[in-house]
Structure 1
Amino acid sequence: MKRETLTVTGMSCTGCEQNVENALENISGVTRVDADNEGDTVEVVVEDDVSDDDLHAAIERAGYDVLA
């Protein structure tokens, strides 16, 4: 397992947090997600075989941007 903290822009409310969390929870191997719109962060706990590209793509499909 690995823990990632991603910087995500465009979240402005708890609904946005939920959108990002739902997008990430749909990825096989994601075990925990905690989005924080005030801090522009998303903490994710994933299995080792989940790539950053998969995480970034899911967030972007939900309509938000991930800073590298």
Structure 2
Amino acid sequence: MPEHTIAVDGMTCANCERTVTSAVTCVAGVESVDADADAGTVSVECPEDVCPTVRDCIAGLGFDVPHED
């Protein structure tokens, strides 16, 4: 399963990491999640077509997920 790294602005603590991890884990097709507040990233193992749903999930939590170019 490919791993994707998504930039996330606004994660500031371990609670933010837990919140994002918990929510993204519930997205269908996601195999694993590693949120890192210090790096401002979320690494997700999932198919490419699931990434937009993951990004929407994180944004729905109130974090800023800059668009990919």
TM (norm. structure 1) is 0.89
Write out the 4+ residue segments of structure 1 that deviate beyond 6 Å after TM superposition. Answer: none
Q: Secondary structure at the match of 1:65?
A: coil
TM (norm. structure 2) is 0.88
Amino acid at match of 2:12: S
Residues matched between the structures, number: 67
Residue identity over aligned pairs, in percent, reads 37
Higher strand share: 1
Structure 2 portions without partners, runs of 5+: none
Q: CA RMSD in A?
A: 1.2
Q: Secondary structure at the match of 1:59?
A: helix
Query: Would the aligned equivalents of 1:8 and 1:64 in 2 still touch at CA under 8 Å?
Result: yes
User: For 1:19-50, what per-residue CA distance to the aligned partner results, in whole angstroms no more than 9, with x for missing partners?
Assistant: 11111101011010000001101100013542
Structure 1 portions without partners, runs of 5+: none
